[in-house]
A = this chain, B = another copy of it.
Amino acid sequence: MNEFKPVRFVDVALEGQFWRERLETVLTRTIPSQHVQLGKHGILESLTLPNPPPPLRFPRNEHNFTVQVFWDSDVGKWIEAASYALSHRRDAAIEAKIESIVDDLEKAQAPDGYLNCWYLQREPDKRWTNLRDNHELYNLGHLLEGGIAYFLATGRRRLLDILERYVDHVRQVFGPNPGQKRGYCGHQEVELALVKLYRLAGERKHLDLAAYFINERGRQPHYFDQEAIARGEEPKDFWAKSYEYNQSHRPVREQTRVVGHAVRAMYMFSAMADLAAEFDDDGLKRACEALWSDVISSKIYITSGLGPAASNEGFTEAYDLPNDTAYAETCASVALIFWAQRMLHLNLDGKYADVLEQALFNGALTGLSRDGEHYFYSNPLDSDGRHSRWAWHTCPCCTMNSSRLIASVGGYFISAGKDSVAFHLYGGISTTLALAGTTVALRETSTYPLYGSIKIEVSPANPARFTVKLRIPGWANGASAAINGDAIEIDAAKVNGYLSINRLWQPGDSIELELPMPPERLYAHPSVKENVGRVALKRGPLVYCIEEVDNPGGHVQELCLPRDADLLARKRDDLFGGTVILTARAERLETKDWIDDLYRRSPPARSDSKLVALPYYLWNNRGNGSMEVWISEA
């Protein structure tokens, strides 16, 4: 069992401006507008099982597939996000919308508990015949997460009851016993949802079902082979060609390389880490660690984007990290946060929190526009200006992943253990914990991630001895700290990336932590061929990019940053409610003397110029234009 557990987001008040703004945007703009979109695109209607069903909005593709099979999941994710919003403040209108959905689901549910609106409406005789492609359990997983969140937010358990009946049905259908299907879902997700249900309800059967799905995966004879044969298909005709696509190419404990569809992988690894903790399963833990090491050492963009390829929405080879064609689906970065948090609780090591933070600020946040109603599905690190945010997507998975994450972001800040509390993120939060036999009020005050001056007030109701652990980010060189004004020797007190302070805390104690944030240059491993001769800019946890709107005069790709140019950080209050930009002397490659030449013998002339860099997550909020993260270093 994990020593630390996250403090739930409802118990963490977001007080800093950075997150308050994002949270308010999600609560007031994103979640309501997503409901409108779900209605507009026929997704809500699909729950009412209209008879006859309307024509498909997204006709089946050449692989006989339509995105409509996972519409239930979009509803589930919206309920989850909306319920997190309700946890912040109740809202009768939102609750009425959820109740209406629950009415539909209640009516739709089959007498035996089965509840998949696609199959019930369109292919009632075909349930559980194509787990490989058709997302039945994935849909359940997301509905279940929605039902749990809704119950926690409101105490209403009608949806949860519906879903528990469905889970009971699933438990009868799947398993190792005679008459059961030895199957599992082609898109992992239900596993981590079942662990959540177990943790809510305490019923072991839910945990066992999650473990069954994880442990069965990839075993021979392969379930997806048998299932394809039963459908009259050739297993080898699987469109993705390899079961690496859905990480069922071998049993999960034998997987060491991160392969296939990135979101599937991240959801599965999250469940594996959950189960490693619940079962104290070293084999699972070791597999998680090997997979973590593989992805972090060779398959992650500096922005935390995962999965370079559109063809499988996923991973390819080590160091294959093209910038302009990067798929780097928003969902994958969100799901990486889920996994990183679980790894962090398996082992309180700052290396996991570093990735969590990297994914939060540079991967997940990027997916949602400033106005809260536009999205990125893929997240390239270089654009000639043709990549832009959209109001909705054929496959709207990323939209609700953004909203459910931000609406619950407080849950990633701190964790509590026995007589100890660990701060992973900073940005202005407060909470009250029961620690060491007393009640401790904690308030962290900062303008993080803009500046690294952090104050933490630790106020036990009565003096008490416990440990406060403060993450010293891996990027923070020269961090310093003081307690009540007295300096602490950080290096001596740092364990696995956390400054660990065990003392008898008194009411009114405070810690000051200073994380220097000089602008930095980062270089990529030479095997990342696109980045040879290029440099990325970072300050604190934020990766920067250069965008055409700040660097007019042509494509930003024509700018070069001299190796010796100073990088200056400057607060810009006029931009996005206040952000820190970077500026530097630069050189711009001249195009005007090229006339009609496309290739020539002499290199481009260079003119003195300037470069303005913006946090990557903010790009494409001021119209379309070119952008790049990796800048040619002159």
A contacts, CB < 8 Å to B: 59-62, 293, 296-298, 300, 302, 317, 320, 322, 324-325, 382, 384, 386, 520-529, 532-536, 554-555, 557-558, 560, 589-591, 594, 596-604, 628, 632-634
Contacts and interface: CB of A to CB of B under 8 A. Distances in A.
Contact of A601 (B523, B525, B526, B589): B523
A188 to B, nearest CB: 25
A601 B526 CA distance: 13
Given A297-B597, A526-B589, A560 B536 contact: no
A599 B302 contact: yes
Contacts of A560: 532-533
Given A317-B384, A523-B601, A533-B560, 14 more contacts: A59-B62, A298-B598, A300-B598, A302-B599, A324-B529, A384-B529, A525-B597, A525-B599, A526-B557, A526-B590, A526-B604, A532-B632, A533-B633, A536-B599
Given A320-B384, A322-B324, A632-B532, A297 B526 contact: no
A445 to B, nearest CB: 29
Contact of A557 (B300, B532, B557, B589): B532
A448 B6 CA distance: 73
A523 B296 contact: no
B382 A529 contact: yes
Contact of A599 (B59, B523, B604): B523
A63 B524 CA distance: 41
29 contacts: A59-B62, A293-B596, A296-B598, A297-B597, A324-B529, A325-B325, A384-B529, A520-B601, A521-B601, A523-B599, A523-B602, A525-B598, A526-B558, A526-B589, A526-B590, A526-B604, A527-B554, A527-B555, A532-B557, A532-B558, A532-B589, A533-B533, A533-B534, A533-B560, A533-B632, A533-B633, A533-B634, A536-B599, A603-B633
A211 B446 CA distance: 74
Contact of A522 (B533, B554, B590, B600): B600
Copies of this protein in the complex: 2
For the residues of A in contact with B, the DSSP-based class is loop
Contacts of A521: 601
A61 to B, nearest CB: 5
A305 to B, nearest CB: 12
A-B complex: 9 closest residue pairs judged by Cβ atoms: A529-B557, A526-B589, A62-B62, A297-B596, A526-B604, A533-B632, A526-B558, A523-B603, A532-B632
A633 B61 CA distance: 45
A331 to B, nearest CB: 21
Nearest to A300: B598
B527 A599 contact: no
A325 B310 CA distance: 12
A555 B529 contact: yes
Most buried by B among A317, A521, A529, A558: A529
Contacts of A320: 384
A302 B555 CA distance: 21
Nearest to A522: B599
A526 B591 contact: yes
A253 B365 CA distance: 49
A520 B297 CA distance: 38
